Structure 1
């Protein structure tokens, strides 16, 4: 099964973001559905059942060592660049170093469970849209420049299964299969 670990913003944050993005929905992007919005901590790819059980055990331990993190969504950008992007995103601000530390612990838990991950610098974000070909997303980025969501406190890590091509319009469908509280001391 295809898995990733994520923090999911609460409904008021999702509603705020949906309102900010609504005027942009006419742009010809493959928009992600608000019910799929999340901040990825690590993407694990295909994981067999035995490895998943070990991953769950290790993720529970990792989450227990970290305190909740206070975050907000802000602005916009594009991966590779706003002028030539494959992904339109909104950024994350707040307890940035604790968030990076949490992502590092989640990645270490996956490696200890036997999952091979590529070494990438962690860039916290929430994906708003994917683009089939590199596209100039500067109009959307400019429209999101002043956006800032309400602040929220992420209190749990979710392990999410991605069912490719099983959602609306042939897109992925996400299913949370486990979650653990961020239980460390603040």
Structure 2
């Protein structure tokens, strides 16, 4: 099973983004219930090994505050950028990276198609948990573990 860690925007943030995307055509939209910001990607991996590793990596980190920003693209992948209020989001991303396969460019994939022009500034929210997700099929994810930040 392909595994990755992610942060999921809360419903009010997703509602705000969905309203901004409404009416934009020529994009094959990602289902809203699959929206997430990938924090670390681990490829084919064993959940029994990855769960304790992720728990150890997140231990002691501070819950970051973020917001979604302007649209961008990687080829035909359309995404929204992520803006962090302080360094705690970068610390989280650094802690959860594995093998440094790619530069980390935090984003939320919203669709596939031609690039779109969308200046956007979404509401801020605090990432209160990290999810370890398993991917079987495209946009079908299974929550394998939830790691809540200490209050």
Please give the TM-score of this superposition, normalised by the length of structure 2. 0.91
Quick check: 2:34–2:139 contact (8 Å CA) kept in 1? no
Task: Please list every run of 5 or more consecutive structure 2 residues that lacks an aligned counterpart in the other structure.
Answer: none
If each structure's strand is expressed as a fraction of its own residues, which one has the higher value?
A: 2
Change (3 A) 1:10 1:123: same
Quick check: 2:31–2:139 contact (8 Å CA) kept in 1? no
- Determine whether 1:150 maps to 2:123: yes
For 2:49 and 2:67, how far apart are their aligned partners in 1?
A: 31
The secondary structure found in structure 1 opposite 2:87 is: helix
Equivalent positions of 1:164-175 (< 5 A) are 164=137, 171-175=138-142
From 11, 24, 28, the counterpart of 1:30 = 28
If each structure's helix is expressed as a fraction of its own residues, which one has the higher value?
A: 1
- Determine whether 1:56 maps to 2:56: no
For 1:96 and 1:177, how far apart are their aligned partners in 2?
A: 28
Counterpart residue number, 1:82: none
Counterpart residue number, 1:71: 66
Counterpart residue number, 1:163: 136
Quick check: 1:7–1:154 contact (8 Å CA) kept in 2? yes
The secondary structure found in structure 2 opposite 1:23 is: coil
For 1:95 and 1:60, how far apart are their aligned partners in 2?
A: 24
Q: Rg bigger for which structure?
A: 1
Please give the TM-score of this superposition, normalised by the length of structure 1. 0.75
Task: Please list every run of 5 or more consecutive structure 1 residues that lacks an aligned counterpart in the other structure.
Answer: 80-84, 111-116, 165-170
Instruction: Give how far 1:61 is off.
Output: 1.8
- Determine whether 1:42 maps to 2:35: no
Instruction: Give how far 1:99 is off.
Output: 1.4
Counterpart residue number, 1:93: 83
List structure 1 runs of 4+ shifted beyond 3 angstroms: none
Quick check: 1:5–1:41 contact (8 Å CA) kept in 2? yes
Quick check: 2:134–2:141 contact (8 Å CA) kept in 1? yes
Give the aligned length.
151
